[in-house]
Amino acid sequence: MRRHLLSLLLTVALVVPLVGAALQDKGGQDETGPYDVVENWLAPVHDGWYHHVTGVFAESPNRIFITASGETPKTPLEPGRRGGAPAPPAGFDPARPGAKSDHFLVVADSNGRIVEEWTHLVGMLVRPHTVQMNPYDPERHVWIIDREGQQIVKFTNDGKRVVLTIGQKNVAGSDEKHFNRPADIAFLPDGSMLVADGYINTRVIKFDSKGNYLTQWGSKGNGPGQFNLVHCVAVDAKGRVYVADRSNGRVQVFDASGTFIEQWRSRRPTHLLVTKDQSVWVSDGETNRFLKYDLTGKLLTYWGTHGTFPGAIDNPHKFSVDSDGNLYVVDYANNRLQKFKPKADADPSRLIGPIK
């Protein structure tokens, strides 16, 4: 009897690990890093159309601001085409048949349902590029960078009133009162702001909290302090300024007055975010990765892969993180906004955020 019991226990001891091993996931490529993608999260803004998303800002897990440059009709299935429909066109082209400058700003809830649409922006703006909020602003004003309209517009949180406009609509320039395709904005604790101006002017401009010009730096070129498409700007706790010099393939670092400090190599930096732990996260539009650096430029970790399947990315244009740690990525060339939810067992050092 004792011998039979020992034999049974030994059999159970051998079988249980094998069963456990069989249940474990195998393979995989860590494509979404410490996140799970929430597939088909965002409800269609308009069935049968591509919504060309350009910017995102997560005010809270239940209020996600989304900017777009417009929409174009989806191409019908091509008879006999392998794989079905042709690839969607990347980005908005107003000359494309059926293109409409519409749905410039919508707000989604945590389930991806559209709960607000600021329809009054059509006609007021030309082609929004970025939406942001000042983290030091208790009234949570909404800032929209209208790249093609050559303006930056500040709205009340509900969008019903314009509080401030910087730049002159549809007038490009390189002086203190005009932009030439601005791309992004960042804020300092005193309410002043830094503008990435941007696609043509290749400079960073500093304004006070009322929109008055203070200073600027940068010129066209590839030397220290020069730029070739300023796509994003961010600030750390010490006031150092990080600039995504996209077409020069680098991040440049300056002090608060614009004096050049150093530069870091990057294939195609599109967006920057300085998190609470004073790390700098960079999205790269060529490698389609999210990269974490310390403040000296040392690479700490990364994740991400190129593709069209859920969780893959083709040119991460902008990204934002909510207070629950959910990540929202403007997957520009795939014409979609993706939501990534932290895995239950995620390594916190690989998660983007928190911001504050």
Count CA atoms closer than 13 A to 32's CA, side-chain side: 21
Question: Which H or E run includes 19?
Answer: helix 2-23
pLDDT of residue 281: 98
Q: Architecture of 34-76+85-347 per CATH?
A: 6 Propeller (2.120)
By C-alpha distance, which of 280, 283, 303 is closest to 293?
280
Count of CB atoms situated within 10 Å of the CB of 198:
27
Q: What end-to-end distance do the CA atoms of the chain give, in Å? A: 65
pLDDT of residue 152: 98
Is 108:320 a contact under the CB 8 Å cutoff? no
What are the structural domain ranges in the chain? 34-76+85-347
**In whole angstroms, what is the distance from residue 5 CA to residue 3 CA?**
6
pLDDT of residue 136: 95
Is 93:99 a contact under the CB 8 Å cutoff? yes
Q: Which amino acid is at 264?
A: W
pLDDT of residue 90: 78
pLDDT averaged per 10 residues, the chain (length 356):
52 47 69 96 88 96 96 67 58 86 96 96 96 96 98 98 98 97 96 96 97 97 97 96 98 96 97 96 97 97 96 97 97 94 96 86
Cis peptide upstream of residue 354 (ω within 30 degrees of 0): yes
Count of CB atoms situated within 10 Å of the CB of 23:
7
Is 340:35 a contact under the CB 8 Å cutoff? yes
Residues 6 or more apart in contact with residue 91 via CB below 8 angstroms? 52, 69, 332, 333
